Amino acid sequence: MTTLDYVIIGTYLAGLLVLGVGFRKQSDKQDYFLGGRTLSWPALSLSVMATQLSAISFISAPAFVGLREGGGLIWLSYELALPAAVAILLWRLLPTLHQAGVVSVYDYLERRFARSTRLLISLVFQLSRSFATAIMIYAISLILQGTIGLAQWHAITLIGVITLIYSALGGMKAVVYGDALQMVLIVSGAGLCLLVGLDAMGGMAAVINQADPARLTTLNPQGLGLNGSDFGLLPMLFGGIVLYASYYGCDQSEAQRSLSSQSVGDLRKLLISVALLRFPITALYCATGLVIGTLFLSDSQLMSQIPAGEPDWMMPVFIVEYLPSGMVGFMVVAIMAAAMSSLSSAINSLAAVSVEDICRVTGQQPDNRQYLKQARLAGVIWGLITLTLSLYAGDIAPTVIEAINKIGSVFYGPVLATFLLGIHSKRVTARQVNFALLAGVGCNTTLWLTDSPLFWFWWNVTGFGLTLLTGMLLRYWRPAAIGRKLESVRGAPAKYLLMLVLWSLILLAFCIWLSWWLSKLTA
């Protein structure tokens, strides 16, 4: 790297600090955690996508497509689930939570069931989110170590301290506008790498001719996911629907954006825009991975720079080897931006949940000044916890993007089922739903610890189904027990739900056509 690269990196980091200072004044918890519900839906949409289409997707999705054994364009079939998941969210779940005016989505569960339900599911969220974020930071620290020569703990400290300052000072506004900027950088960086990779390979025709035909397959309808990670269409579709619906609707780190929207109408625009735009961005990541992966597999000297069993190093090595001065700094900024996007979102959401939990347990509601002080302190504490965990995080899957989704698959199904039981059933009580939640999480944890051959994408379905079934059975077993029923809000009009279903079918048709077209070119 040259002086110009370091200047670009330093300028970006300084800009984030200025952003945090610029948004440092907040009046109350709604302002700090929800941006006072004054944020525009386009900015929120970019923030939502930046949190998930972050460093993990930018680095690991191309690695899965290009180098991961058994990987390839099959990752695109995962995206078919998102429009259907958004339709579920718009039906009633997110409009109901938005109308309730809560800061933490788990407040709703306390109002509907009891404080024990809120604290239990809050604990589930805090464990899963802090662990998943730690793994992401760990992966990015290794990447920065490979690109700019930082020691692992130096890289973690650099990412962590800057993010802690701007997110703790600026609250949700700093997080959202920082994410929006980072989303632009991430997508621009992926596009730049794709163009440089195509130039190095001599065009897309050369890539297709040299690529492994197995990596050009976008769908695997025969794979049922009963004997390991075969990335079959059915587990990725049904497991993906549950995972996405729970992640965007019941995970505080994402749902907090939806709660920050100005109205239910803006909430609808936000989610529909995410459902429409995610596939093209993911397709860009996958195309980049196919091109660069083919380049690496055709050059033994390049491949020798990637540690054995670490396909996630593909993009950093490519950046250092192929991009000119200045562009390397830009790409390192994109990687850091992606990591900071996920970390800032985790810090803000964990702080929101923790402070609200403390207020419930102590029974004290501090004034606005004291509340904001506690919120910032909680954000710093969670940031330090996450960064400490990242020092000891290890690999649990061939690529980081799989590891993050595998962790989520343990919890997302049971959490989604808990919210749906609360919204759609008035007879399920707190004790019943608590037992059902523990049964669902316990089932998935057992599948993981016993090395079950069932593909982990199915864990979303098993956890969801068992939690829902247990809750419904207990309801009939104790029919006299009546829970508190809160008013649910009418969801999106049917035309929007049908549009999302149609978009999902269009994406399915595109994947089928793409597989057929690529197979014809390689025949």
CATH number at residue 351: 1.20.1730.10
- Are the C-beta atoms of 459 and 444 separated by less than 8 Å? yes
The token duo for 379 is 């954000």
The encoded tokens of residue 314 equal 């593909």
Identify each DSSP E strand in 202-314 by its residue range.
none
The residue segments making up the domain with residue 53 are 3-522
Q: Which long-range contacts does 301-310 make (Cβ < 8 Å, 24+ apart)?
A: 306/67, 309/398
Q: Provide the domain count of the chain.
A: 1
**Is the Cβ–Cβ distance between 253 and 94 less than 8 Å?**
no
User: Measured between alpha carbons, how far is residue 29 from residues 33, 378, 511 in Å?
Assistant: 6, 13, 44
φ, ψ (nearest 5 deg) of residue 261? -65, 155
Q: What's the confidence (pLDDT) of residue 223?
A: 81
**Cβ partners under 8 Å of residue 148, min gap 6:** 1, 5, 9, 332
pLDDT value of residue 92: 80
Torsion, Cα of 49, 55, 58, 63 (10° steps)? -140
pLDDT of residue 34: 60
pLDDT tens digits, residue range 469-486? Answer: 999 888 877 654 555 556
Measure Cα distances from 69 to 4, 15, 54, 214, 215 in Å.
Answer: 37, 40, 23, 10, 9
Q: For residue 151, what are its two tokens? A: 């020691």
Q: Quickly tell me which residue has 């035909």 as its tokens.
A: 213
What's the CA gap between 30 and 14, in Å, rounded? Answer: 27
Which two tokens mark 295? 């380049």
Res 36: pLDDT: 60
- Alpha carbon 514 to chain centroid, angstroms: 26
CA dihedral 239, 244, 249, 254 (to 10 degrees): 140
Amino acid at 182: Q
CA gyration radius, the chain: 22
**8 A C-beta contact, residue 39 and residue 176:** yes
Distance between CA atoms of 114 and 474, rounded to whole angstroms? 17
Name the maximum alpha-carbon separation found in the chain: 73
pLDDT for 462 equals 96
Task: Give the span between the Cα atoms of 455 and 60, in whole angstroms.
Answer: 19
Paired residues of 39 in beta bridges: 261
Q: At what angle do helices 400-424 and 105-112 cross, to 10 degrees?
A: 30
- Note whether 133 and 141 are within 8 A (CB): no
- CA triple 355-361-362, angle to 5 deg: 90
Q: What is the SS3 assignment for 261?
A: strand
pLDDT score recorded for residue 43: 78
Angle value at C-alpha 109, between 50 and 463, nearest 5 degrees: 70
The residues of the chain scoring below 70 in pLDDT are 1, 16-17, 19-37, 50-55, 142-143, 146-148, 150, 152, 163-175, 178-179, 334, 337-342, 344-345, 360-364, 391-398, 400, 478-492, 523
